[in-house]
A and B are shown apart, each in its own frame.
Chain A
Amino acid sequence: MSETTAAETTAEGGHGAVPTGPEIPSGAEPTRATARRDWPLYECFVRGKRGLNHVHVGSLHAPDDEMAVHAARDLFTRRNEGVSIWVVRASDITASSPDEKDPMFAPAGDKVYRHPTFYEIPENVPHI
C-alpha cells in the first residue's frame, strides 16, 4: 500500500477519527534547523501533597533546568496537583532493566520473609 485511503481511518485519538494507514510518502525530509530539536528531555516528578513522595508524571523538553521547572509547573500542575516539582535530565537517569524477571530483581523473589504477610499471627492478637 502506498497511500492513505479513507478506508484506513479509525477512531483513535480521543479527539476522533484519524487515519491509520501508512504515512503519506513524501520526498525530502524537512531540513529546518531548529534549536528546539536539541533541547534536552527532562523527566518530571510532582509531590501531590505534603507527606507524599514525588511521583513521576511525564516528561518535557526545555533549554535548561530552570525553564524545565517553569514548564513542568504549567504542564502538570494547572489545578493544584502538586506542592513541589523535581525535574531531572532524562540522560542523567540510570535505570535497571525493565523486566521484572531480570536478575536484578531475582534476589528479592525468594525473600518472602521481608513481607509482613510471611508471618502468621493468631487472629485474636489485635493491632498487628
Chain B
Amino acid sequence: MSAPTVARPTEDELQAQFDATIAADHRIEPRDWMPEAYRKGLVRQIAQHAHSEIIGMQPEGDWLLAAPSLRRKAVLLAKVQDEAGHGMYLYSAAETLGADRADLTDKLIEGRQKYSSIFNYPTLTYADCGVIGWLVDGAAICNQVPLCRSSYGPYARAMIRVCKEESFHQRQGYELLMTMMRGTAEQRAMVQDAVDRWWWPSLMMFGPPDDDSPNSAQSMAWGVKRHSNDELRQRYVDMSVPQAEALGVTLPDPELALDEATGRYRFGAIDWAEFKQVISGNGPCNEERITRRRAARDDNAWVTEAATAYADKHAS
C-alpha cells in the first residue's frame, strides 16, 4: 500500500486562493503564492519607494553642517536618520519578495530604477528644510497612510513604522517655519520664497492625473494602492491651504479657491512637462544625487569589507 498522496494545487486553484485573500481584504504574506505580475510590480514599487527615502536624505543633509543652532542640528540629524531607517525597512520588505538589496542599490545607481522627482530640486536656504518637512513630508504622509493597508503584509507593516515617524518630520518643519515667520522681514521672505519653489513640485509627488496613469487600476484592484493619484492630491491641497493660512504664507497659485459647493479647493493646472523632464533625468540635481549615492557605495566599501574580514576571522 502506498502512502496517501496530497494533490498539488493547480495554478488556477492558487490564483483563486490569492484572489479570495485579496477579496477578503486579508494580507498576502511572503511565502504565499502570488501572480508574477503582482510580485514584480511590488518589488518595483517598494524598491523605488526605498530609493526615494535614501536619496531623500540628501537635500536636507546638505544643511546638517549649517544648521543655525545645536537644537536645529539635532532635530535635522534625527529626521535625516529616520529617512535612512525608512529606506532600510523598505529594502527589507522588498527582500521578502526575493529581491537583493545590493542589487537594487546598483540598479538605482545605474539609472535603471527611479526615485521620487521631488528630491531633484535643490535646497537653497535653511527655510527649505522647514518647507520640506511641512510640504514634502506632508505629501508623503498623504501617500503613505493608505499604504498601511496595502495588501502585501511586509509593505503594510513597514508603512506603519514609517507613518509613526513621519508626524515628527512634518511638525518639526512646520515649527521651524513658524519660528522664522515670527522673525525678521528677511526671514519671512525666505519662507515665502521656499514655499514658492516647493509647492508645485510637492503636488507632482502624487503622480500624473488619473486619466494618464495606466497602472493605477491594476494596482488598486490588487489592493496595493488604495486611492487614486488625483484623490490623494486633492486631499493634500485641502489639508495644506489652512496650514498655509495659519503660517501666513501665500501658496503660489492664483487659481486656488474654495469651492463652496464641495468644500474642497480648486487649484491651477500642474506643469506636467516639467515633471516629465525631472523624472527622466533632467531636473536641477538628478546627476548630483546619483553621483553622491555612488560615492557612498564605493568610498565606504572598505568599511563593509573590513567588517566582513573581522567576522570571518572570528567565526569559529
Please tell me if the beta carbons of A39 and B45 are within 8 angstroms of each other in the complex. Answer: no
Interface residue? B249 (CB, 8 A): no
Known: A34-B102, A98-B31. A9 touches B88 (CB 8 A): no
Q: Is the CB of B31 within 8 A of A64?
A: no
Q: Please, which residue of chain B has its CB at the minimum distance from the CB of A11?
A: B207
* Chain B residues whose CB sits within 8 angstroms of the CB of A17 once the complex forms: 116-118, 204-208, 229, 275, 279
Min CB gap A33→B, angstroms: 9
Interface residues of B in 109-124 (CB under 8 A from A): 109-119
- List chain A residues, Cβ under 8 A from B106: 30, 32
Residues of A within 8 A of B208 (CB): 6-7, 9-10, 17
A35 at the binding interface (Cβ < 8 Å): yes
* CB pair A61 B31 closer than 8 Å: no
Which of B186-194, B240-248, B285-293, B302-310 is the contact stretch? B302-310
| A61–B30 touching, CB < 8 Å | no
Q: What is the number of residues of chain A that contact chain B, defined by CB distance less than 8 Å? A: 46
Task: Tell me whether A23 and B30 are in contact in the complex, defined as CB-CB below 8 angstroms, given that A12-B49, A13-B116 are known contacts.
Answer: no
Whether, in the assembled complex, B182 has its beta carbon less than 8 Å from a beta carbon of chain A, the answer is: no
Q: Is B6 an interface residue (CB 8 A)?
A: yes
State whether the Cβ of B172 lies closer than 8 Å to any Cβ in chain A. no
Contact partners of B48 in chain A: CB under 8 A: 12-13, 18-19
A14 in contact with B41 given A78-B81, A98-B31 (CB within 8 Å): no
Query: Is B100 an interface position by the 8 A CB rule?
Result: yes
Interface string of A32-53 (1 = CB under 8 A from B): 1011111101000000000000
Contact present for A14 and B308 (CB under 8 Å):
no
Whether B53 pairs with A15 at a CB distance below 8 angstroms is yes
Which residues from A are CB-within-8-Å of B112? 23-26
Identify the closest chain A residue to B102 (Cβ): A37
Is the CB of B184 closer than 8 A to any CB of chain A? Answer: no
Give the number of residues in B that approach A within 8 Å (Cβ atoms). 89
Instruction: Please state if B115 and A18 are interface contacts (CB–CB under 8 Å).
Output: yes
Report how far A33 CA is from B191 CA in the complex, Å. Answer: 46
Q: Is B140 at the interface (CB under 8 A from chain A)?
A: yes
The distance from the CB of A92 to the nearest CB of chain B, in whole angstroms, is 14
Residue pair A15, B207 in contact (C-beta under 8 Å): no
**CB distance B6 to A103 under 8 Å?**
yes
Interface hits, A72-126 → B, CB 8 Å: 74-75, 78-79, 95, 97-99, 103
Cα separation A95 to B96 with both chains bound (whole Å): 14
- Name which residue of chain B comes closest to A103, CB basis: B6
Residue B280 lies at the interface, judged by CB distance under 8 Å to chain A: yes
Q: In the assembly, what is the distance between CA of A9 and CA of B270, in Å?
A: 15
Interface residue? B212 (CB, 8 A):
yes
Report chain B residues within 8 Å CB of A41.
95
How far is B90's CA from A13's CA once the two chains are assembled, in angstroms?
A: 10
CB atoms of A98 and B30 under 8 A apart: yes
- Contact A24 B111, beta carbon cutoff 8 Å: yes
Contact (Cβ within 8 A) B31 A16 = no
CB distance from B316 to the nearest CB of A (A): 11
Kindly list chain B residues whose C-beta atoms are within 8 Å of the C-beta of A75.
Answer: 85, 88-89
User: Which residues of chain A have C-beta atoms less than 8 A from B130's C-beta?
Assistant: none
**A7, B140: Cβ atoms under 8 Å?**
no
Residues of B close to A37: CB separation below 8 A: 100, 102
CB-based closest 4 A-B pairs: A13-B49, A16-B205, A14-B144, A16-B116
Can you show 28 pairs from A to B with CB atoms below 8 A apart?
A7-B214, A10-B208, A11-B207, A14-B162, A15-B53, A15-B116, A15-B136, A16-B116, A16-B136, A16-B140, A16-B205, A17-B118, A17-B229, A20-B219, A30-B109, A36-B301, A36-B304, A41-B95, A58-B88, A58-B161, A60-B88, A60-B92, A64-B311, A74-B85, A78-B85, A79-B165, A98-B30, A99-B17
Contacts A14-B86, A15-B136, A35-B305 supplied; 10 other A-B pairs, CB < 8 Å? A9-B207, A11-B205, A12-B143, A13-B50, A13-B52, A14-B49, A24-B111, A25-B112, A35-B308, A63-B310
